[in-house]
Amino acid sequence: MRLARVTKDGKIGLAAKSGDTITMAFGAEVADLDAHIAAGSLAAAGAKALAGEAVAEPDLTFLPLASRPSKIICLGLNYRDHAEESGLGIPQFPVLFARFPSSLIGHNAPIILPKVSEQLDWEAELVVILGKGGKCISEADALDHVAGYSVFNDASIRDYQIKTPQWTAGKNFDDTGAIGPWLVTPDEIPAGAAGLKIECRLDGVVMQSSNTSNLIFDVANTIHLLSGFMTLEAGDLLVMGTPGGVGIARNPQVWMKAGQVCEVEIEGVGLLVNPIVAE
């Protein structure tokens, strides 16, 4: 099942994609993916969307999949080649930072290049949407806690990121955390979203290309480790880290500029497209 929060002609609803066909159920209640995930009613909401009105994808405006996640937990340095290009060593425990909902945007929405910086970088990432929470979740049971997967672009303002040892500022500029288009349920892809090609393209030029099997801390291991010290909750987003090839590590460095288009694609999960627009 593939689901998305969308609007059509100014009306909000929930879209479902089956093959090449997209259908939509209208209404704020059915579009509330956060509530459906928390209530365990995602399948029922999906059935309503599948039984809805046929729509054309170009007529849809995609919204962030989550509107009020309790937590957005991001992993840094979670691919070996990215850890090496950053010069920060291979982590022995997940390197964690937080994003906040105010930074999120949807598919086709513009990533904003702020007036205060030119150092806008791309980061192609897999995102995990938890379907149920818990504490001290075993690695063997961890994937049972996943509601779905999607695509994320952890666009980063690098000079603000490195102003301090904590990365929060550079990771939370408005309109830089792109997610979508679809929430893809686990039955659609391999367990733990393993073995999937992940790629970032800027104006069609490949900037990152790797495979989710190269994660240092995979999905099950990450859920297990995080739940060892905090209570995870239904609807939490886990953003799983980016491969090597980011702009800051290049010589010379490369930054996204207004007028360009950034694409992040994960095999079997989806294609997330965002234009770059100056503030």
Taken in order of first residue, the domains within the chain and their CATH numbers are: 2-62 (no CATH), 72-278 (3.90.850.10)
Bridge partner list, 53: 24
Average pLDDT for the chain? 97
pLDDT at residue 23, rounded to an integer: 98
pLDDT digits 0-9 by tens, 174-230: 999 999 999 999 999 999 999 999 999 999 999 999 999 999 999 999 999 999 999
Mean of the pLDDT values across residues 48-70?
Answer: 97
pLDDT at residue 124, rounded to an integer: 98
pLDDT at residue 88, rounded to an integer: 87
- Please state the pTM of the whole predicted model: 0.98
pLDDT digits 0-9 by tens, 70-102: 999 999 999 999 999 988 889 999 999 999 999
Mean of the pLDDT values across residues 34-38?
Answer: 96
Is residue 269 predicted with pLDDT exceeding 90? yes
3-state secondary structure the chain: CEEEEEEECCEEEEEEEECCEEEEEECCCCCCHHHHHHHCCHHHHHHHHHCCEEECHHHCEECCCCCCCCCEEEEECCEHHHHHHHCCCCCCCCEEEEECHHHEECCCCCEEECCCCCCEECCEEEEEEECCCECCCCCCCHHHHEEEEEEEEECEEHHHHCCCCCCCHHHCCCCCEEEEEEEECHHHCCHHHCCCEEEEEECCEEEEEEEHHHECCCHHHHHHHHHCCCCECCCCEEECCCCCCCHHHCCCCCCCCCCCEEEEEECCCEEEEEEEEEC
Is residue 158 predicted with pLDDT exceeding 90? yes
Question: In the structure, what pLDDT confidence band is assigned to residue 166 with cuts at 50, 70 and 90?
Answer: very high
